[in-house]
Structure 1
């Protein structure tokens, strides 16, 4: 072998070693993610995952450094099937897998039991869960991506009575932590505003036939029916309500504020009302820019939950950088003290429980086959 070839081989070997060292110097930091990725709530899970994915990619692009070393955040996704038992199993799997923070779960029913697993491990969790119980367990590790049912239900309950003048109200919920919690808060506020709850009924999150329940409600002539639950039930309920000749206004929460609700309910969706945390996307402080980047990245329109998931993920990663540590016990105080501008709000900050301090919502109505914002309301 010639001297030239020896030099070339040595240079190539050195380049490979140097490249390996450079790669090794980038510290991987695992973030857990869990939501329903299969079943009739899979669209919610994918929406949420897209927001978290975009946040991780955006933040990694800034080449963040912790402890004098460049870090790269990676997402470890799991399907909790919107099932409480599966949620706890997934939570333990993620903890055992070495995650440094948890983004999820989506449902309150999975987030609440899973939160005990993360709390025992000392791992901060930022969930989409809206049930009041999620942050009332005394855990220091629970934080929200969206306003709680206490904030949302109370605002909507007051609104429909004082602004719409609808006082004969029936309530149905799906018995999940989310649906029941939202309905409970709505009922309290509606009663306080002067409404009469003519009947309260229950179903489940797998039901599709509501004729018996609606026939019972019809006998009480409600002006409004509030449903606590998701589109998979609220959409057929809207259709069956009209098939029975009922003229009651159907009102629900953000899990019904989807394009799929309109698709499934058809013409019966017209006039339905839903509440959603925060402002319409176009009016969010970072909404227009987020919309452009999201559509370029995923090739589809922004749905309901992704902007909130984006802000939650950003809050966690920024807290790690601020604390100069990705160890949960070291960055948890920085996360609790979060004060940042986000896509969804000018101020993302948490109270002592981990609830968002800013709790406004927007009321939407189906007009001409599309969801249209009616009014944005501040927390009360």
Structure 2
């Protein structure tokens, strides 16, 4: 008979729970709660009860760093899910790595988090040994959409815009490089500051070069208004971007002209996956105020990966392991985690990246996102 819980372990979670990106952050939080509730109900790790400590970073990297320091200071925290943004992860990862505290993100896509800042010129070097992620990177989703634009949309001329954050600038660079490698031409590169609302000067510059596609590396609070202002100025080219645009908030901000716009996602479209049916049903039954969004399923799998790692660590350290000893054992166990989750196979390579290197492409059709490439691999386009 399984033992009743005698030990409580905390899984930390960092995401924007308030502010402009709260819809994504809350989807992550509620999904992690489902995983923990299931583990507790089934006594998945005998003798252990899990609790979630969800902290709000407001999509601010300095707050993310402070939250990371708070997780490190709490001896009951055995692992962390998050952050949402790559900028937040770049601030938090060194803090957690120094404390041997495992971190699994359901949404970070900057390649430098696992390959190092100089991966383009010096090759891959893993900077943070306790950092992992369940989604693929901009090195996959950026080129995938670029190749789709060339092969399927027959786009020849592109404008590439990005914000100044790690996520947006990396994603834009990956798209631009792949678009030109596929025979297209980037006619204009531009950078905007986060929180920009008036794009009138940029819109005039874009309109003057008559692009076939406008790619925006950044998030929906800026991407949506940019699309709306481009369409209002008569620019008919679709706006495209990464997972930062793949939200209902983008469609609301972009307005009726959003139909035809595109977004990639660093993972697969789970709506048609049998493995996701139970998760989606449970999420709906819980009547959360926000949808799981593109990262909820990956947050569930990130949380479950930590739970699996705790189970492995307990086998190694025994039921008396706690504090720094158990969290180090958990971090050492994550690379051996291998299970079939909501999003498919969940396991990690030597850099901490998911082995499930697929992405998807969505298009706004009749006011909602529709998967047009549910499962995409670079070799297919």
Alignment TM-score, normalising by the size of structure 2: 0.89
Matches of residues 260-271 of structure 1 in structure 2 within 5 Å? Answer: 260-271=249-260
- 2:174 maps to 1:185: yes
Matches of residues 1-380 of structure 1 in structure 2 within 5 Å? Answer: 26-65=6-45, 70-98=47-75, 99-127=77-105, 128-137=107-116, 138-299=127-288, 301-324=291-314, 325=317, 327-345=326-344, 347-376=345-374, 377-380=376-379
Task: Report the CA distance shift for 1:309/1:65 in structure 2 as closer, same or farther (over 3 A).
Answer: closer
Tell me the secondary structure at the aligned position of residue 30 of structure 1. strand
Tell me the secondary structure at the aligned position of residue 188 of structure 2. strand
- Return the alpha-carbon distance in structure 1 between the equivalents of residues 110 and 267 of structure 2: 17
Per chain length, whose mean CA-contact separation is higher, i.e. which structure has more relative contact order (CA < 8 Å, sep 6+)? 2
Quote the offset at 1:147 in angstroms: 1.1
Residues 186-232 of structure 1, C-alpha deviations (whole Å, 9 max, x = no match): 11111110110101001122111111112112211111100011111
- Return the alpha-carbon distance in structure 2 between the equivalents of residues 57 and 243 of structure 1: 47
Unaligned runs of 5+ in 1: 1-21
- Return the alpha-carbon distance in structure 1 between the equivalents of residues 287 and 29 of structure 2: 11
Residues 156-200 of structure 1, C-alpha deviations (whole Å, 9 max, x = no match): 111111221101001001111111111111111111101101010
Corresponding residue for 1:17? none
- Return the alpha-carbon distance in structure 1 between the equivalents of residues 327 and 269 of structure 2: 34
Residues 210-260 of structure 1, C-alpha deviations (whole Å, 9 max, x = no match): 111121122111111000111111111111001111111111111211122
Paired residues in the alignment total 354
- Return the alpha-carbon distance in structure 1 between the equivalents of residues 73 and 312 of structure 2: 26
Quote the offset at 1:366 in angstroms: 1.1
Task: Report the CA distance shift for 1:52/1:247 in structure 2 as closer, same or farther (over 3 A).
Answer: same
Q: Is the 8 A contact 2:30 2:292 kept in 1?
A: no
Unaligned runs of 5+ in 2: 117-126
How much is the aligned-residue C-alpha RMSD, in angstroms? 1.6
Stretches of 4+ aligned residues off by more than 4 angstroms: none
Quote the offset at 1:88 in angstroms: 1.0
Corresponding residue for 2:119? none
Tell me the secondary structure at the aligned position of residue 109 of structure 2. coil
- Return the alpha-carbon distance in structure 2 between the equivalents of residues 249 and 277 of structure 1: 20
Tell me the secondary structure at the aligned position of residue 27 of structure 2. helix
Q: Which moved more, 1:103-112 or 1:150-159?
A: 150-159
Quote the offset at 1:354 in angstroms: 0.6
Residues 267-291 of structure 1, C-alpha deviations (whole Å, 9 max, x = no match): 1111101111333222224222111
Tell me the secondary structure at the aligned position of residue 169 of structure 1. strand
Quote the offset at 1:379 in angstroms: 4.0
Task: Report the CA distance shift for 1:65/1:144 in structure 2 as closer, same or farther (over 3 A).
Answer: closer
- Return the alpha-carbon distance in structure 2 between the equivalents of residues 265 and 151 of structure 1: 26
Task: Report the CA distance shift for 1:318/1:379 in structure 2 as closer, same or farther (over 3 A).
Answer: farther
Q: Is the 8 A contact 2:113 2:128 kept in 1?
A: no
Corresponding residue for 1:18? none
- Return the alpha-carbon distance in structure 2 between the equivalents of residues 261 and 114 of structure 1: 27
Tell me the secondary structure at the aligned position of residue 256 of structure 1. coil
- Return the alpha-carbon distance in structure 2 between the equivalents of residues 319 and 90 of structure 1: 22
Task: Determine which structure has more spread, i.e. the larger CA radius of gyration.
Answer: 1
Q: Is the 8 A contact 1:169 1:195 kept in 2?
A: yes
Alignment TM-score, normalising by the size of structure 1: 0.89
